[in-house]
Structure formats: C-alpha cells, structure tokens
Amino acid sequence: MNILIRNICCIGAGYVGGPTMAVLADKCPNLQINVVDLNSKRIDLWNNKNLEKLPIYEPGLAEIVKRCRGKNLHFSQDLEINIAKADMIFISVNTPTKSRGVGAGKASDLKWIDACARQISKYSEGKTIVVEKSTLPVKTAQTIKKILDEEKGRSKEVDFKEFSVLSNPEFLSEGNAINDLLNPDRVLIGGDDDESIAVLENIYSNWIDKKRIIKTNLWSSELSKLVANAFLAQRISSINSISSLCEETGADIKEVSLAIGTDKRIGEYFLNPGPGFGGSCFKKDILNLSYICDYYGLHEVASYWQKVVDINQWQNKRISELIVEKLFGTITGKRIAILGFSFKANTNDIRESPAITISKELMLEGCHLSIYDPKVNHDQILSVLGEINSFTPEFNDINNEGSWNLEESIYSASINADAVVITTEWNEFKNIDWERLSKDLRKPAWIFDTRCIIDVDVVKSFGLNVWRVGLG
C-alpha cells in the first residue's frame, strides 16, 4: 500500500465532525487531526479552557477533548493550510433541506458540499482521500468527483493532484455519540478505489473489529444512511400513531409497546411513544428519500415515506391542541412550564425539536412559557422562538401575546404555572419532587407527560391532573 496517512483534516466542527474526530484522535495518537470550521465562535468554544463550554454536549466528549486537544487534536479556521497538508479529508458540513428553488422542501441543499469540493481541489496537494461524512443524497460522490477532476485540471500551482472519494456515513445517536463511535454496530465504507478503502478500514481497525466494517459501492453506502434513518423514524411515527388510539380506547401504550417489543421479529427499540422525532437527520433524510423517489417516478413510494413525516408533525400539533383543550379551552395569559427543549436527552441539540413546534403553537394562543433545560442556553431558544414581547408574571391579562423566558431549574419554571409539559426525557425529570412542585403550581394544575416517564399514580396523589401520551 503506497498511501501513508499522517494528517487528517475534517471540514465541519459540528455534532458529527467534532465528536468523530475527537475519538479518532484518541484512538490514533500517531495521526494529526485538524478540525476546521469558518464559524469563529464555534472554534473558540472548542478551544475554550473551560470544557463545560464546548459547543456540543455529549457524555464523555469533554474527557476525550481534554486528553487530545493541543497534542494531536486541533481546532482552527485555517482551511487552506490544513487542506494542503492533509492526506485524508472528511467532509462533515450541514446539508439542510432546500428552502427554495428546485426540490424546495424536500431536496438537500448541497451548497456547502459544492464549496468544500472546490476548496479541496484548489488547495490540496498530491494524493488525497476525500471522505463523505455528511448525510448526502445518493450519487453526491459522483458530483464531488466531477468537481474535483474539473478543478484540478485548471490548477497550475501543484504538479500532481489525485483524488479518491469514499462514502463513510455516520450512524450516531445524539446523547450516545461517544459510545456509538467507540462501539459501533457497524462501520460502512463505500467506494470504488480498493486501496483507499483499505486505508480507511485500517484506521478504524485501531479499535474496531474488521468484522464490523462493511464495504460497499458508493451508491449503496449513501442510500443505506437515508434508509436506516427512514426505518427508525418510521417506527417512531408508527408507535405515536398507535398512542393516539390507546388514549381513545383505554389501552396503555407502554403495555402495548412491551407486548409487541418482545416479539423478536419486531424488537424493543424505537417503540417509546413521545411528542415526535427531532434532530438534524430524520426529517431531512426522509424528505430527501421521498424527493429521490419522486425524481425516479416512484410516486407511491415517495408518498409512503412522506406520510412518516406527516404523522410526526401531526403528533406535535395534536399535543399542543390537547394542552389547550385540557386548560378549559384557553391559555391566554396563563403560565406553562416547558421542561426540556433539546430534541432528546443527553444533548444540547435543538434542531427540529418537538419542543419548538409545541412552544410556538402554545405562544400563538397567548400564554407565557417558562422553559428549563439543563443544557440548552438562552441564545439557542432565542434563535427559534424569537423575542416575542417580554415576560410578565401577571395572569388574567387577556390582551397579552405569547412570550417566554428561560429558568434555572424545574421548580423556578413551575412557580405559579397552570401546567407543566415534559418535552424531553432528561433523567432529572424522572425524579421530580412532586410534593414540592405541587405547592408551587396554580390550581387546578395539569402535568403533561409527552415522554411517558412519570408515575401517574404518584403524581395524582398530590392533587394534580395528569395526561400521559398513550394513556390519556
């Protein structure tokens, strides 16, 4: 094998690039890992001496960064320099759904992928292995190849440039990303250059058994990521659709989930009811899959996958409407505590969080939201809810429009609240002091458990009304 890897560059210091490269640096101390991002604020946070201020919260991440940062793990904005000296480059940038133009609302926006490919072609030197790490539509690698080949032909700066493109999609579950990286179910590598595939395989084999490394062609690798997320999201939408039926019939969704989950043909995973799936991938990837199916004339298939997203959005809206209904048909001027704003526990990621949709729907009704999340900060909430008036503690002001504020604890958020809505399954929400909380609420008070994590009988024993998803 003639390819020697000494320096790796990762373009993108987000939820995938940052943790992935941290683990790579920790397990491969012989490699120099440079993570670059044009967002100066994000890079400053990665380099902050206070590890609690890292831009991403993942259990175990801070400890790894502490071990490797400044040794063989580096964060910077020096794109040109790090591309030039890299033997392998990971592309880990955002690929959001297009908001306008062809494919708007479904297709992935590949402008950052395009920009990365052109930068790589311009500044790279010698043989460079380019690895797709972002979730991408099928045949994006082909586009990257064309850009690299076209651009390198125009370059006169270096005598020799050669590129190999691989697909290496991530299968990380936020909140469990470090464990997923250390002990993956599988590592998928797609490509048509056997030598480059072997190089990446050998890097992963420093800590992963080669039996768990699957090698495919480029297109199979890219499609596998979309399909995996679609299947997982489908299970969530399926169990949430059944939760509404349970509420109408008197069945308990937890009992139904247990009953079907013990069937080995189905399995227990992703059968927990909730307010709907969130995060950066599920919705985006399903919409992209639906778009691809439409593109190839498979309209019935496209419609099938679109329905998974539709059910998810319906669940968000159903819960917010139910809250209004239970609070006597109006929440104008009332205070509601929102417990949890990240899309799931053990992460500070709020992208596509069900809490956003629920909060917006409630504020449209004119209520005041007191929000508490152990890891989400004020600026994050501000970016999605905006500055809608100022928070006022006066109730019965029927002219007030919706507003929100961020609180420091479960209990401060609940003072004089008419209702508490649990929207994220953080462990501390499973151990609430209900006796203390009940004294602070305005009666009659409601507890809405959208995550199925509370003991209904215990909560009711303190004189509180309870609604739990899939039970009613």
Handedness of CA 4, 9, 15, 16 (dihedral sign): negative
What kind and span of H or E run contains 466?
Answer: strand 465-468
pLDDT in tens, 251-291: 999 999 999 999 999 999 999 999 999 998 999 999 999 99
Confidence of residue 396 (pLDDT cuts 50, 70, 90): very low
- Is 28 annotated in the active site? no
State residue 369's pLDDT score. Answer: 97
**pTM for this prediction:** 0.90
Q: Is the pLDDT of residue 367 over 70?
A: yes
Residue 414 has a CB neighbour count (10 Å cut-off) of 27
pLDDT in tens, 299-356: 999 999 999 999 999 999 999 999 999 999 999 999 999 999 999 999 999 999 999 9
Q: Is the pLDDT of residue 119 over 80?
A: yes
Confidence of residue 210 (pLDDT cuts 50, 70, 90): very high
The catalytic residue among 281, 293, 367, 452 is: 281
State residue 399's pLDDT score. Answer: 53
State residue 388's pLDDT score. Answer: 61
- DSSP 8-class letter at 265: T
Q: Is the pLDDT of residue 393 over 60?
A: no
Fold of 311-468: Rossmann fold (3.40.50)
pLDDT in tens, 53-87: 999 999 999 999 999 999 999 999 999 999 999 99
Mean pLDDT of 435-456: 97
- Is 387 annotated in the active site? no
Fold agreement (7-216, 311-468): yes
The catalytic residue among 58, 132, 151, 170 is: 170
SS3 146: helix
Options 2.30.30.40, 3.40.50.720, 3.40.50.980, 3.20.20.70; CATH of 7-216: 3.40.50.720
The catalytic residue among 225, 284, 344, 360 is: 225
Amino acid at 91: I
Q: Is the pLDDT of residue 392 over 80?
A: no
Spatial CA neighbour of 116 closest among 92, 96, 150: 92
- Is 170 annotated in the active site? yes
For the chain, the structural domain boundaries read: 7-216, 311-468
What SS3 string covers 381-418? HHHHHCCCCCCCCCCCCCCCCCEEEECCCHHHHHCCCC
